[in-house]
Amino acid sequence: MTSSSEGEILQVGQVIRERWKIKSKIGGGGFGEIYEATDVQNHHERVAIKVESSKATKQVLKMEVAVLRRLQGKKHACKFYGCGRNDKFNYLVMSLQGKNLADLRREAPKQCFSLNTAVRVGVQILNGIREIHSIGFLHRDVKPSNFAMGRTTQTMRNVFMLDFGLARQYLNAKGDIRSPRSAAGFRGTVRYAAVTAHKNKTWEGSLEKKDLTDNEKRAIVVGRQNGLTMMTLAGMFGVHFSVPKAPRVTDRNDDRNILKTSRTDPRLTVLAIRREVCLNSPSPPSVSTVKRRLNAAEIMGRRSVMKPLISEKNRAARILWFDETVLHHVSQWVIGILDDIWTQLVYEPTELRHSRRAGTCFRRTASEMHASVTPNIPANVIMEMGRQDDLWSLFYMLTEFLQGQLPWRKIKDKDEVGRMKEDVDMEALLEDCPAEFHLFAAHLKTLGYPDTPDYDYLESLLNQVIVKNDIAWDEPYDWEMGYENLSARSKANGNISARMKSHTTAVIRDQRNENRALDTQAPITMGEDEDEQTNGQCPHIGLTFESAHEKAAEKPKYKRHEFLKPKYGTVNLDVIDAVNARFAACDEDAKQDSNNVEANFQLPSSILRNQAVAESSLSIKRPRQPSNAPPNPDKTRSNRSITLSINNRYPKAKTNKISSLNTVDTQAQMDDVSNNARTAQTILSRWQGSFDASCDDVGDGMDDPPIERQQRLAPYGHKTSLLSTPRSLDSNNTSPGGSPSSPMNPRASPLAARRASRSEKERPSMHRTASCGAPQPSSIISHFKGLINSFNNFGVGNRISRTTSIDETAARQSSPSQRPDFDYGMRHSSSMHTRDPRIPTQRITATFNTPNDTNEEREKRRERRLRRRSVESNLRAELETPPQSVRSPVVVQKAVVHAPVSGVAKIRDNGVDENFRIPLEDNNKPLLFYKRKRYQFLNFPRASSKS
Ligand SMILES: Nc1ncnc2c1ncn2[C@@H]1O[C@H](COP(=O)(O)OP(=O)(O)OP(=O)(O)O)[C@@H](O)[C@H]1O
C-alpha cells in the first residue's frame, strides 16, 4: 500500500463530489490509480476509486464503466457506485475488495497455491469470465492481479473480477459476433496472454514463421525502412503488426493531404489508392487495373505510399518493390480491400462524404472500413482475440498457481514468450498437475474466434479435480489458514507434495534472482510482476518495459507500513519487526521528550519452563490476583495498536482440521544436566497468529476477541484471536503448568484477573477454538503480545496519557502487593540478558517522565521498582547456591509438537534455539534478534487434513 503524494492524481483527504473522501492509495496500474475512500454520505462505507488523468493518452475508464455497469448483479463483479469526470481526472467508484490473487500467491511461502485453493479459485475465475462473456465483452487482460478476494464477511470467499480497461465487445448490437479485424495490436499482459494475442505483434516475429521468399523478406525490410507501416506490410504478407501511430490528417478537405498522410497508415493508403484507382470507376477494379495503377509512376511519383520507395535515395527498394511476387501480394490484398470499400461507397455514400469533410470522422470511417474487411491473409494468422483467449489466460494462471511459476516468467521479449507458448511441451508445463488440465487445454485448442467455449465442460473438469481430491468447498483457502500449514495440505493433495518439492528446488536454484524479484517487485504498474502489459500503442515496448523492470528491481513492491502487513501466513517476524519499528519511534520520541526508554527483550523464563516446577524449585512466592479485579476502564485505544490473531474463521468447516491448524502445542522440555525433574513446557499455540493492523484495541484483542469485531476488522476474516486461548484458560483456571493467576503467567496480570472475573454473560460472543480446551501456561506469543501492547501504549501514550497501557493502568489500580510480578509495563532493566535466567521476573521496563506524573506517582513507582529489585536480588542469591546449572534461559532443549489428529514430532533436540534468542543490546538500543528460519520451526508436520 502506498500513500498519496504530490505526483498523484488524488490526495489523501480530498473529497470527490462531496461524497467520497480519499483515505489512501491502494495501487497504481498501467492505466490509472486506485484509491481507498470512504463514503461520507453512506455511513463511511469503504469504497475503491479508480482514477485516470484526463490527459492520459489512452483513456480506458470509459470502457471500464461501460462494462462494470453491464455486469451489475453478477456474482463476480464489484458494485458500481458512480463515475464522473472533471478537467483533471475521470473516476469510477466501486466496492472495495481485498487482496488480489497475485499478491496472495506471492505471499505464499513457495509462491504457489495448494491444489485445493487453486482449483476452487479457478472455478470462480472461470465463472467470472463466463459472466463478462455473457454480456458480450472479452476481458482481454485476465491475470491474477485482476482478481481480488472480497473484503467483508459475506464476500471474503468470493473472487471479484477487476479492471475492464482492455475489454472489447465481441458481439454487436444484434448479438452477432463482430467480424474479426485483420490485425489488431497486442492487448493484455505478456505472461498470461494467449498465443493469439502474441501473434498480433511485430512483424519480425512472424517473419520467421512465414514462408516468405527472400525477395519478400527484403521487400519487407526495405519497405519498413522507408516508412511503410507495419499494417501495410502485414496486409501484403499475411503477417500482423501493431500500428505505430495514429494517422494524422493535416488538412481535412484536401485530398492531396490525405494522400500524403496515407504513407503512415494503411487504411489511408487504401483510400488513396481508391481515389486514384476507382473513385470514378463505375465498378470495382480488376486485378490488372490495380496492378497497372500501382505500377504507374504517375501514382507513385505523387504522394502515395509508394513514393519513398522510388526516390533517388532508395533505388534498391524500388527494384525490390517491383518484384513480381511482391506485387502479386500487394494486388491481392488491395483488391480485397477495394472490394469492400467499393461496397461501402455504393451503400454508404453519406458516411464517406462526411468523412471527407472532417478529418477525424474520416479517420474513424477509414478505420471502420478497415475493420470490416478481411484481406487475403492465411487463416492461421488472423488475429482477433476471442473468448477462448480469456480462457487461455485462465489456464496459464492456474498453471502458475500450482507450479509457482511459468517457464516464460523471466522472458521480457514478447515475441519470445509467444514462441515459447506455442512450442511449449504441455507435459512439462503441467508436470504433476491434474490430468484434467490437459483436457482443459485440449478443449481451448479446438476453439477459434467465433466459437463459443464450452464453459460447462471446463467447469466440470475443475470440479472433477475437486471431487477426486476430496476437496470441500467450505475449506479455508491457503491464505485463510496460514501458509505454514500448507505442508499438511499438500500432503493431503498427494502428488502436489512432490510438485511443491520440485518447485522448492527450482526456487533454490535461482534463489538470488527469484527472491529479489519476489521481495522487491515493482508496484502494480503496467503488468504482472515482470510482465509487460500494453495497449498496442507502443511499438518499442521492449525498451519501455525494460526500464520499468529496472526500476522494479530497485523499488519495493509495496511501501508497507509495518503495521499494515498482510494478515496471511506466519507473523512472527512481523511481530518483531513491528516492535523494533515501534522502538525506533519510541527512541525518537524519547530523544525529543527526554524520556528514558530502556527495554529488555530477553525471553521470559516462564515461557520455557514448566511453571509449577519453576515455582517449586525456585520457591517463588507470588501474589495471587484478586478475582474481583476492577474491569478495564480503558476502552478506547490507539488505532496504532496491534493485535495478534489466528487464522480461524471457519468454525463450521471441519472442526478437526481447524483445531489442527490452530493448535500446535509445543512442549519444550528443559534438559537439566543434574536434575531431570526440570521440565519445560512451551505452548506455542497460535504461533501462526498474525497482525491485524486494523485492529484498534489491543487490550480488547488480548482480552476479548469477539469474532464480530475481528470479522469486521479483518478483510480476510480468517482470524480468531490468539487470545481466545487465554480466555478459555481463565475460565478453566486449571492450568497444569501453574494457575492462571500465577505471577509467571503474563495473563496473571490484573487484566487477567478482570478477565477471569467476567461472567459468561458479559461475553456472549466469546469464541472458543477447538484447541482452547487445555489450559496453557504463558507462551512466547504471550510474551510478544505483552511487548507489543507495551510499546503500542508507550508509542502513543507516553505523550498523551499513561493510562493507555493496560498493564500500567491495572498496576495503578492494584495495590503494590497485588501487582503481578510479571508485567509488560514499560519498565526497565538494562542488564537483563546477563541476569540469572532462573529469575522469573524478567521484565520490559521503561522509565519515562510524563508531564502528568505527580510526585506521588513517581514515588510509588520508585518504591515498586526498589521492591522488585530486592526480590530479584534475593532470588539471584538463592539461585547461586544450588549446584545444578541451567544452560540458558532460552534453551528449548526438546520440543515436541502435538498435532491434534496425529503426529508427535521432535523438532529440536538440544542446544540453544537461536531462532528465539532475543538479546538486548547494551547500548540501550534494543534490537530484536531473530534468525529468519521461520518455517524450519513453524512448519510443524501435521496430520493430514484428510484423515
Ligand atoms: N475495487 C477494488 N478493490 C480493491 N482493490 C482494487 C480494486 N480495484 C483495483 N484494485 C487493486 O488495484 C490494482 C490495480 O487495479 P486495476 O487492475 O483496475 O488497475 P490497472 O491500472 O488496470 O492495473 P493493471 O494495469 O496492472 O491491470 C488491482 O490489482 C487491485 O489490487
Q: What mean pLDDT do residues 789-805 have?
A: 44
More confident residue, 810 or 18: 18
Helices (H) and strands (E) in the chain, counts: 38, 18
Give the model's confidence band at 456: pLDDT under 50 very low, under 70 low, under 90 confident, else very high.
very high
pLDDT at 790: 59
User: Strands 719-721 and 665-669: what pairing?
Assistant: unpaired
Using the atom order of ligand 1, give the atom closest to the CA of residue 30: 25
Going through 501-589 in order, the beta strands assigned E by DSSP cover 533-534
Residue with the smallest CA separation from ligand 1 atom 17 is: 163
pLDDT at 109: 83
Q: What mean pLDDT do residues 93-108 have?
A: 94
Pocket test for ligand 1, best of 26, 96, 187 (most atoms within 8 A of CB): 26
pLDDT at 390: 95
Helix (H, G, I), strand (E, B) or coil at 275: helix
Q: What mean pLDDT do residues 46-61 have?
A: 88
Say yes or no to pLDDT of 703 above 50.
no
What amino acid positions are annotated as catalytic residues? 141
Q: What mean pLDDT do residues 231-250 have?
A: 39
pLDDT at 354: 35
Torsion sign across C-alpha atoms 216, 221, 226, 227: positive
Buried b (16+ CB within 10 A) or exposed e, 764-781: eebbebbbbebbbbbbbb
Q: Do 46 and 36 form a contact (C-beta atoms < 8 A)? A: yes
Q: Give 100 Cα–ligand 1 centroid separation in angstroms.
A: 8
Cβ neighbour number for residue 394 with a 10 Å cutoff: 25
Say yes or no to pLDDT of 37 above 90.
yes
The residue assigned the cell 489456464 is 395
pLDDT at 183: 54
> How far is Cα 637 from Cα 842, in angstroms, rounded to an integer?
26
Give the whole-number percent of the chain exceeding pLDDT 70: 32
Using the atom order of ligand 1, give the atom closest to the CA of residue 525: 26
Pocket test for ligand 1, best of 20, 79, 100, 189 (most atoms within 8 A of CB): 100
Q: Do 632 and 758 form a contact (C-beta atoms < 8 A)? A: no
| Closest among 305, 278, 299 to 289, alpha carbons compared | 278
Q: Give 149 Cα–ligand 1 centroid separation in angstroms.
A: 12
Q: Select, from the ranges 520-534, 601-615, 627-641, the one with the highest average predicted confidence (pLDDT).
A: 601-615
Q: Do 665 and 687 form a contact (C-beta atoms < 8 A)? A: no
φ/ψ of 418, rounded to 5, equals -60, -45
Residue with the smallest CA separation from ligand 1 atom 5 is: 97
Q: Give 164 Cα–ligand 1 centroid separation in angstroms.
A: 10
Say yes or no to pLDDT of 792 above 60.
no
pLDDT at 76: 96
Give the model's confidence band at 175: pLDDT under 50 very low, under 70 low, under 90 confident, else very high.
confident
Give the model's confidence band at 782: pLDDT under 50 very low, under 70 low, under 90 confident, else very high.
low
Say yes or no to pLDDT of 317 above 70.
no
Residue with the smallest CA separation from ligand 1 atom 26 is: 29
Task: Tell me the one-letter amino acid at 723.
Answer: L
- 905 has which bridge partners? 897
Say yes or no to pLDDT of 64 above 50.
yes
Give the model's confidence band at 867: pLDDT under 50 very low, under 70 low, under 90 confident, else very high.
confident
Helix (H, G, I), strand (E, B) or coil at 667: strand
pLDDT at 788: 61
> Is 557 known as a binding-site position?
no
Pocket test for ligand 1, best of 99, 524, 538, 557 (most atoms within 8 A of CB): 524
Q: Edge-to-edge strands of the sheet including 690-692? A: 690-692, 643-647, 719-721
> How far is Cα 834 from Cα 790, in angstroms, rounded to an integer?
22
The radius of gyration of the chain's CA atoms, rounded to the nearest angstrom, is 34
In the chain the first and final C-alpha atoms are separated, in Å, by 40
Helix (H, G, I), strand (E, B) or coil at 243: coil
Around ligand 1, the residues with Cβ closer than 6 Å are 26-27, 29-32, 34, 48, 50, 78, 94, 96-97, 100, 141, 145-146, 148, 162-163, 165, 524, 526, 533
Using the atom order of ligand 1, give the atom closest to the CA of residue 524: 26
Q: Do 483 and 934 form a contact (C-beta atoms < 8 A)? A: no
Provide the phi-psi class of 176: left if phi over 0, else alpha when psi is between -120 and 50, else beta: beta
Q: Give 399 Cα–ligand 1 centroid separation in angstroms.
A: 22
- The rounded mean pLDDT for the chain is 56
Residue with the smallest CA separation from ligand 1 atom 20 is: 29
Task: Tell me the one-letter amino acid at 855.
Answer: N
Task: Tell me the one-letter amino acid at 484.
Answer: E
Q: Do 631 and 646 form a contact (C-beta atoms < 8 A)? A: no
Lowest mean pLDDT among 223-232, 381-390, 394-403, 926-935: 926-935
Q: Give 163 Cα–ligand 1 centroid separation in angstroms.
A: 6
User: Strands 33-39 and 20-28: what pairing?
Assistant: antiparallel
Alpha helices by DSSP H, 280-425: 287-295, 297-300, 307-310, 315-321, 324-347, 349-357, 359-372, 387-403, 414-423
Give the model's confidence band at 789: pLDDT under 50 very low, under 70 low, under 90 confident, else very high.
low
Q: What mean pLDDT do residues 453-463 have?
A: 95
Alpha helices by DSSP H, 87-150: 101-107, 115-134
Say yes or no to pLDDT of 162 above 90.
yes
C-alpha distances in Å from residue 403, one per residue of 429, 447, 496, 499, 940? 9, 25, 9, 7, 23
More confident residue, 426 or 606: 426
Write the pLDDT tens digit of every residue in 887-913.
444 333 333 333 333 333 333 333 333
| Closest among 398, 417, 444, 393 to 193, alpha carbons compared | 393
The rounded Cα 34 to chain-centroid distance in angstroms is 14
| Closest among 184, 117, 109 to 144, alpha carbons compared | 117
Q: Give 538 Cα–ligand 1 centroid separation in angstroms.
A: 22
The rounded Cα 848 to chain-centroid distance in angstroms is 41
Q: What mean pLDDT do residues 146-167 have?
A: 94
Helix (H, G, I), strand (E, B) or coil at 137: strand
Helix (H, G, I), strand (E, B) or coil at 492: helix
Angle at 148 between CA 145 and CA 154, to 5 degrees: 175
Q: What mean pLDDT do residues 160-186 have?
A: 81
Using the atom order of ligand 1, give the atom closest to the CA of residue 145: 29
> How far is Cα 819 from Cα 623, in angstroms, rounded to an integer?
7
Give the model's confidence band at 143: pLDDT under 50 very low, under 70 low, under 90 confident, else very high.
very high
| Closest among 486, 545, 395, 475 to 107, alpha carbons compared | 486
| Closest among 830, 832, 912, 846 to 876, alpha carbons compared | 832
| Closest among 137, 172, 184, 198 to 393, alpha carbons compared | 198
pLDDT at 345: 32
Task: Tell me the one-letter amino acid at 593.
Answer: D
